[in-house]
């Protein structure tokens, strides 16, 4: 028997669920179909949103020859053979052939380059499906000749309709199996239709004749269901980005949620801890210098403690950082200083700051006239530290938090108006 996902694969666009922005009445792809010709396109979206199905249906709607390749196991030779067939076909057929390449992001530069000529000449309409950001994974030359369409995660309503379709299959009707655990299965699927059908199929296989598959039954069957979190793909970067931005935005609730997403997805705890160290320096900084110390201790602690207790340590640090006052003044200061160095090159270090490491250095005056601050009562004495050409330049601008106001007041007291702080 075919897998449930194959049994219920739509046979026409009218049966296709979701992606109304593309195939609805005013959708971009619907408009292309009305013109009878499809441009070369990239279908970009997470797993299980219908990229492959949509490609098959587009070819069916156009009544166009369709060639299919998977980038996982196809090489340049396979591509060239199909392109040669497509070229011959296009000479004798008004319907331009379609070439569908699943996981096109897995093609290397040479494989992607082999497609360019055929796309430019119009021998084929290329349809590439990818879960990865095309801007990073597709050659610029090829990408510039294609339209990128984003496929969204399925809505709860669409996923509920899919469960209803599964309840109506011959197998379910024959065994009198009825799924009522819609909400639970939808949560577990994370918007992935393929995963949803696999979960439904698993429930069907465990269900006895006449079984009502309620939430408790489904939960028992699917107790080891994995949350989607591709550590090598866009989802990984999307979640970590949301995590850091939630900390920066002082929202401990959102930050803890995204921390849980990473933990449940199997993210490396040391990776999370490293991100916390960076956040402590970049986003909290001088507003609360203790944050960096805590983040460093967090990294050491998760190394020593291990899993699963390290999740508590990560949670404590996450909440502390999210609720701390924020300042990016250190981040901005080093950026400003680096830009100046890039523009001015290596300016001469003042002689009095140079090290008198040899007799010749001493003869050249290195270290001469340097004033040792600790010889003075306050541990400070006015002297010049910057190179001559940039004296008086400021890099650090204090943020408006109590800690930096205190630091700024002290700086103004000792330097007076030198740096205008």
Half-sphere exposure in the Cβ direction for 265 (13 Å, CA): 22
Closest by Cα among 192, 333, 418, 143 to 200:
192
DSSP state of 326: -
- Higher-pLDDT residue of 363 and 327 is 327
pLDDT score recorded for residue 92: 55
Judgement on whether residues 115 and 31 belong to the same structural domain of the protein: yes
pLDDT of residue 274: 92
Is 37 contained in some domain?
A: yes
Report d(CA 281, CA 245) in Å as an integer.
Answer: 14
The mean-pLDDT minimum among 77-91, 131-145, 318-332 falls in 77-91
* Residue 122 within any structural domain of the chain: yes
Based on the fold, state whether residues 344 and 292 are members of the same structural domain: no
What mean pLDDT comes out for the span 254-263? 92
Asked if residue 273 has pLDDT above 90, the reply is yes
Q: Answer yes or no: do 49 and 124 share one domain.
A: yes
pLDDT given at position 93: 63
Domain of 404 in residue numbering reads as 336-415
Average pLDDT over residues 94-114: 86
Pair of tokens at residue 152: 């969204």
Torsion on CA atoms 248, 252, 258, 261, rounded to nearest 10: 160
Same domain for 109 and 58: yes
Q: Are 419 and 394 in contact (CB under 8 A)?
A: yes
Residue where one domain finishes, among candidates 290, 323, 356? 323
Give 128-144 pLDDT, tens digit per residue.
Answer: 999 888 988 898 999 99
132 and 208 fall within a common domain: no
CATH assignment of the domain containing 389: 1.10.3710.10
**Dihedral angle, C-alpha 352, 357, 360, 363, nearest 10 °:** 30
Domain boundary among 221, 245, 260: 221
Whether pLDDT at 1 is above 80: no
Per-residue pLDDT tens over the stretch 187-242: 888 888 998 999 999 999 888 899 899 998 888 887 754 555 555 566 677 889 99
Q: Is the same domain home to 84 and 121?
A: yes
The SS3 of residue 238 is helix
* Same domain as 79, residue 140: yes
Is the distance from CB of 169 to CB of 4 less than 8 angstroms? yes
What pLDDT, on the 0 to 100 scale, is given for residue 230? Answer: 56
Tokens standing for residue 48: 């299980």
Residues 168, 243 share a domain: no
Q: What are phi and psi of 102, to 5 degrees?
A: -80, 140
What CATH number is attached to the domain comprising 38?
3.40.50.300
Long-range (24+ apart) CB contacts under 8 A made by 198-201 are: 198/3, 198/4, 198/5, 199/225, 200/4, 200/163, 200/166, 201/3, 201/4, 201/5, 201/166
Give the Cβ contact number of residue 52 at 10 Å. 19
The residues facing 127 across adjacent strands are 41, 100
Instruction: Kindly state whether residue 331 falls inside one of the protein's structural domains.
Output: no
Residue 240: its H or E element:
helix 234-248
User: Total structural domains in the chain?
Assistant: 4
CA 276 to each of CA 50, 251, 281: distance values in angstroms, whole numbers, following the listed order: 36, 15, 9
With residue 299 as reference, give the H or E element that holds it: helix 290-305
**How far is it, in rounded angstroms, from Cα 404 to Cα 245?**
22
Could you give the CA distance from residue 199 to residue 39 in angstroms, rounded to a whole number? 36
Query: Using an 8 Å Cβ cutoff, are 184 and 156 in contact?
Result: no
Cis amide linkage into residue 308, ω under 30° from 0: yes
Query: In the listed set 292, 323, 354, which residue is the last one of a domain according to the structure?
Result: 323
Q: Are residues 242 and 356 in the same domain?
A: no
């Amino acid at each position: 028997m075919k897998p449930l996902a194959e049994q219920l694969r739509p046979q026409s666009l009218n049966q296709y669920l979701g992606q109304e922005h593309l195939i609805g009445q005013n959708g971009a792809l619907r408009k292309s179909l009305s013109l009878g010709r499809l441009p070369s396109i990239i279908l970009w979206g997470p797993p299980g949103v219908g990229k492959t199905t949509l490609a098959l249906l587009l070819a069916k709607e156009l009544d166009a020859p369709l060639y299919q390749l998977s980038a996982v196991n196809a090489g340049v030779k396979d591509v060239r053979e199909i392109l040669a067939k497509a070229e011959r076909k296009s000479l004798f057929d008004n319907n331009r052939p379609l070439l569908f390449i699943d996981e096109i992001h897995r093609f290397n530069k040479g494989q992607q380059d082999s497609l360019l000529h055929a796309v430019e000449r119009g021998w084929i309409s290329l349809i590439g499906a990818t879960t990865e950001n095309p801007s990073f994974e597709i050659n610029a030359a090829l990408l510039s000749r294609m339209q990128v369409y984003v496929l969204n995660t399925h809505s709860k309503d669409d996923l509920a309709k899919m469960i209803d379709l599964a309840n109506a299959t011959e197998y379910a009707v024959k065994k009198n199996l009825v799924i009522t655990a819609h909400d639970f299965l939808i949560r577990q699927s994370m918007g992935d239709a393929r995963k949803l059908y696999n979960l439904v199929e698993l429930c069907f296989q465990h269900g006895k004749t006449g079984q009502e598959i309620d939430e408790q039954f489904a939960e028992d069957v699917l107790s080891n269901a994995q949350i989607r979190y591709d550590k090598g793909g866009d989802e990984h970067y999307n979640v970590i980005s949301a995590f850091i931005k939630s900390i920066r935005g002082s929202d401990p609730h959102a930050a803890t949620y995204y921390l849980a997403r990473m933990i449940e997805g199997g993210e490396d705890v040391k990776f999370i801890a490293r991100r916390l160290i960076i956040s402590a320096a970049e986003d909290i900084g001088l507003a609360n210098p203790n944050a960096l110390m805590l983040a460093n201790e967090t990294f050491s602690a998760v190394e020593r403690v291990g899993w699963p207790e390290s999740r508590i340590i990560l949670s404590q640090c996450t909440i502390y950082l999210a609720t701390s006052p924020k300042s990016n003044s250190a981040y901005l200061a080093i950026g400003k200083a680096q830009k100046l160095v890039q523009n001015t090159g290596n300016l001469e270090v003042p002689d009095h700051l140079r090290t008198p490491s040899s007799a010749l250095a001493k003869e050249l005056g290195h270290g001469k006239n340097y004033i040792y601050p600790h010889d003075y009562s306050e541990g400070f004495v006015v002297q010049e530290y910057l190179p001559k050409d940039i004296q008086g330049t400021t890099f650090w601008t204090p943020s408006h938090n109590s800690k930096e106001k205190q630091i700024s007041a002290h700086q103004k007291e000792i330097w007076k108006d030198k740096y205008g702080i």
